[in-house]
Chains A and B, each alone.
Chain A
Amino acid sequence: MRIHEYQAKRLFAEAGIPVAPCRVVTSSEDAVVAAEELGFPVVVKAQIHAGGRGKGGGVSLASSSDEVRGVAERLLGHPLVTHQTDSSGRKVHTLLVERATSIASELYLGMTIDRSRRTIAVMASRSGGIDIEETVKEDPDAVLKEWVEPVVGLRPFQAFRLALRLGLTTATARAVAKVVLALYRLFCEKDCTLAEINPLAITPEGEAVAIDAKMTFDDNGLFRHPEVREMRDLREEDPLEIEATSINLNYIKLDGNVGCLVNGAGLAMATMDLIKLAGAEPANFLDVGGGATAEMIEKGFAILIGDPDVRAVLINIFGGILRCDVLAEGVVAAARKRRIDVPVIVRLEGTHVEAGREILASSGLAFRNAEDLKQAASLVAAAVEASP
């Protein structure tokens, strides 16, 4: 789960990480009031769940009330396009107005889960404001790392060493190490999978201030953080995906036009790949769960058919403990409830498969039966070729 910059900064402030004085506003009038209270110059920042806001025009320095009003009116209620959004952008509902910080230099500070080392990695770089993923690719040495030993956690000496390796003076290194340790405590306490301060500003006085804030939380850890769950902003998510999540389905909307419904994540990805190999593009990822019930299949099917881009549907179910006849009943029940104008290809395999296929065949509905994956692929190709 992602949150906005202003929400992450509230958590930072509680955790003792220095942030500049700021206000959260949703109207241009309030933006002006906030700026006047904070004192000019201020920075006005659009709050959306996407990076690249600076380059996309979502972050502006303003030195007067008129400038603040102008920026706020330009941003609020309008879509902001960045390299991380799609071409239609994300609508801006909220602004962060922040007193501008005098900056002597900018650092990068981040934490993430290092899967191959099976622990938390702390990353820092002298060049703040960078795209860390690009930097790692082009110049891995520009990003310094410390790894956490899970038995003892991140130690103060590691935080200080990391700061010194950035080439900071002793006093500034101490200030940065303090931020590193505070961010690490927050990262662990809130079950984060990513936390970034990019940039972490060093002021002319040698103090460290978080200019930007990004936090991503482990969905599997949310059950123990009601305060984090409350920060979820549904306006940042796709409505079909929200609906799917609410009934425990894994659904991701894609650009193609062949919808697919599969039980199990790996088989679902493999089925998308199969559609692509057949010369078509998948319209979605939809995993109804390795242990899906007939009811889940019915709900998943409804979401699939609700996507206007879908020109053909491939249902691929491998029934194990859950029997194919039960699953076939779910498919038939779902199909009966709505008019379906697109070809539906069903590939069913596993326990009681004959009974399942019989239910599909005798339903009176125009399913196209595929005996195996190979045949499913060629039926998809044929359906796409025949569609206008």
Chain B
Amino acid sequence: MSILIDEATRVLVQGITGNEGRFHTRQMVEYGTRIVAGVTPGKGGQEVDGIPVFDTVADAVDETGANASILFVPPAFAADAIMEAAEAGADLVVCLTEGIPVHDMISVRRYLDLLGTRLIGPNTPGLISPGMCKLGVMAGYIHRPGPIGILSRSGTLTYEVVHQLTTSGVGQSTCVGIGGDQITGLSFAELLPMFEADPETTGIILIGEIGGSAEEEAATVIADRITKPVVGFIAGRTAPRGRRMGHAGAIITGGSGTASTKISAFREAGVIVAESPAEIGARMIAAGFEA
């Protein structure tokens, strides 16, 4: 059906009383996401659209049984907020914040690994299981339920690919933005086996970009453990070396992290490589996934 989230997911929103938190909470509720609580330190006891607000994540989890958290928290406070959610027992934490210092993320990722908490992001539009649950800021209506799982380091490029699929009548099981930063939560390599295990997902699209080695690590997992067809695309073939291309993680350092090494790794692992961003959806559909 989906990975990570579905209609049973009970969600709390950290930073619910801010403008962005309030707006997107409403959008998520309209989509059908079960938002059971909000957290803003110092605003416990208030309500936002009838959703109870708590001072701490621990209180929110105790009172409402929330098992996932989504954060709308500024960069300076985001690391602490993620750790608070993990410590309070959330199974899944989704952090959209762009601009968290990388040193903070080193501590966050290590702490969450010790607690066994799964993190999506930061610097992501979030994730969506179409028709069931949206934990993020993507426009819900461009998606439709279906068999394709999408993993991506980019926001609007994912919308583009979702649009290509949906307008061709092909839906998605879950779309996950892993985030554009140097150090993130769940990686391609950690998420791919979840799609492999999901019986409703029959094909996977992996949208990578220059910088780091997440795609090379994904290729190893694909070669070893993934039997479902995978279509891959790497953004940034024309990107210059040593320059940060918008995302903190999109930078070629020395000779490593180039598009060509990633594309070679994909090819060797049997990934169907889309040369042009215009043909990503078509390559997946050509692999046999009509609606």
Contact = CB atoms under 8 A, between A and B. Distances in A.
A269 B239 contact: yes
Q: Chain B contact residues (Cβ within 8 angstroms of A): what range?
A: 35 or more
Contact of A218 (B102, B160, B253, B255): B102
Contact of A277 (B209, B210, B276): B276
A239 to B, nearest CB: 16
Contacts of A287: 245-246
Contact of A115 (B76, B155, B213): B213
Contact of B238 (A116, A262, A282): A282
B34 to A, nearest CB: 21
B22 interface: no
Q: Chain A contact residues (Cβ within 8 angstroms of B): what range?
A: 35 or more
A85 B99 CA distance: 28
Contacts of B249: 115
Interface string B108-152: 011000100000000001000000000001110110000000001
B250 interface: yes
B227 interface: no
B182 interface: yes
A337 interface: no
B15 interface: no
Contacts of A320: 137-139, 142, 156, 159
B283 interface: no
A118 B106 contact: yes
A285 B246 contact: yes
Interface string B208-243: 011011100100000000000000010111111001
A219 B103 CA distance: 12
Contacts of B142: 320, 350
A266 interface: yes
A324 to B, nearest CB: 11
Interface stretch (A12-20, A53-61, A369-377): A369-377
Given A254-B240, A321-B27, A267 B160 contact: yes
A61 B100 CA distance: 43
A349 B235 contact: no
B160 A275 contact: no
A136 B240 contact: no
A291 B27 CA distance: 15
Contacts of B182: 113, 115, 193
Interface string A254-291: 10000000111111111111111100011001010011
Contacts of B137: 291, 320-321
A250 interface: yes
Contacts of A264: 154-157, 246
Interface of A: 113, 115-116, 118-120, 132-134, 136-137, 150-151, 188, 191, 193, 218-221, 223-224, 250, 252, 254, 262-277, 281-282, 285, 287, 290-291, 318, 320-321, 349-351, 372-374, 376-377
Contact of A266 (B99, B110, B154, B214): B154
Contacts of B105: 118
A273 B237 contact: yes
Interface in B84-104: 99-103
A264 B160 CA distance: 11
Which of A188, A281, A349 is packed against the most chain B CB atoms within 10 Å?
A349
Given A136-B254, A277-B276, A267 B212 contact: no
A116 B212 contact: yes
B254 A266 contact: no
19 contacts: A113-B182, A115-B182, A115-B214, A133-B255, A137-B254, A221-B101, A223-B75, A264-B155, A265-B180, A269-B235, A272-B238, A272-B239, A275-B238, A276-B237, A276-B238, A287-B245, A290-B155, A320-B139, A350-B159
B278 A137 contact: no
Contacts of B244: 219
Contacts of B245: 250, 252, 265, 268-269, 285, 287
Query: A-B pairs with the 8 shortest C-beta distances?
Result: A266-B154, A265-B246, A133-B254, A264-B156, A373-B278, A266-B157, A221-B101, A320-B139
B109 A223 contact: no
